[in-house]
Amino acid sequence: MNFFLETLRVLLLSLWYNIEAFIYLFVPKRRKNIAGEVVLITGAGSGIGRLMTQEFAALGTVLVLWDINLEGMKETAQLAKECGAIKVRYYLCDCSDKNEVYRVADQVKREVGDVNILVNNAGIVTGKKFIDAPDSLIEKTMEVNTMAHFWTYKAFLPAMMANNHGHLVSIASSAGLIGVNGLADYCASKFGAVGFAESVGLEMLAIGKEGVKTTIVCPYFINTGMFDGCQTKWPTLMPILKPHDVAKKVIHAVLTDQVFLLMPKSMYLISALKNVLQWKQNSLLASYLGLTIEVDGLTNVSLHRMLQ
């Protein structure tokens, strides 16, 4: 294909994609049916993981729960059954341990079957400034928030590719799009998670696996306990998000094959501005919006709990 024809193709498709996006502002996308599909959620013992489990359960799915909080998983499993899940299985799994991820993944495939929807939700935050954070906590943050995604994809993506059917969901963070003062290791881990998920999604398209979908979720701070002590400077523009609202929006994004979900909506504009403004302007905007965090005021979440 010569330069003229390829350029024309890109321009025409770009025009159509914009028209399509405009239409969807007024006509809701059709939600796909996932009844009977196997959904695996990491960090399912509490927080957003538990709420997403309940939402998926109401859609008649088979649920597989991973966490290192056994009692929390038992409670989540009971709630999922009450919400209509076909089957619920839960497994102790430290997602920061590659060998354990592979071992438990093999157990899931033997006892439940292939996973159709993988939700990487487990996450931790050290609650310390970079220079004060012990090396071990920084390493743990990267292992749980980033590297665990590599291992779960390695374990479950091959079956999705073989069937050209599946959905990869990354619960990342707005801190994976914009650096936040006081959250260096957390931002690095979430930037990594976003880049990884986006790259694999593009890889699936490039090899013709259009049936393997990707959804990358980048919320602002969520009121789950993970960021207790955080406050927002402008609550109307940048509200602390309600967990139930986030869970419902994530499920809707999955059902409509939405690739990026940023919350609140103002994050779409802020993220775009970051890429066009000068460094000093970005710093000024961050200060104005309150995109800083007093880490000393955080209620440090135990590293033995996987929350988002």
* 3 state SS for 75-131: HHHHHHHHHCCCEEEEEECCCCCHHHHHHHHHHHHHHCCCCCEEEECCCCCCCCCHH
C-alpha 249, offset from chain centre: 12
Specify the 3-state DSSP secondary structure of 218.
strand
What Å distances lie between residue 31 and 21, 84, 165, CA to CA?
A: 16, 19, 16
Cα-based angle 19, 22, 28 (whole degrees, multiple of 5): 120
Which pair of structure tokens corresponds to residue 301? 């979440």
Q: From the candidates 186, 220, 268, 288, give the one annotated as an active-site residue.
A: 186
Q: Is 186 a catalytic residue?
A: yes
Candidates 188, 77, 56; CA nearest to 119 is: 56
Q: What is the DSSP-derived secondary structure letter of residue 68?
A: S
Q: What is the DSSP-derived secondary structure letter of residue 143?
A: I
Which pair of structure tokens corresponds to residue 242? 């309600």
Residues with a known catalytic role: 186
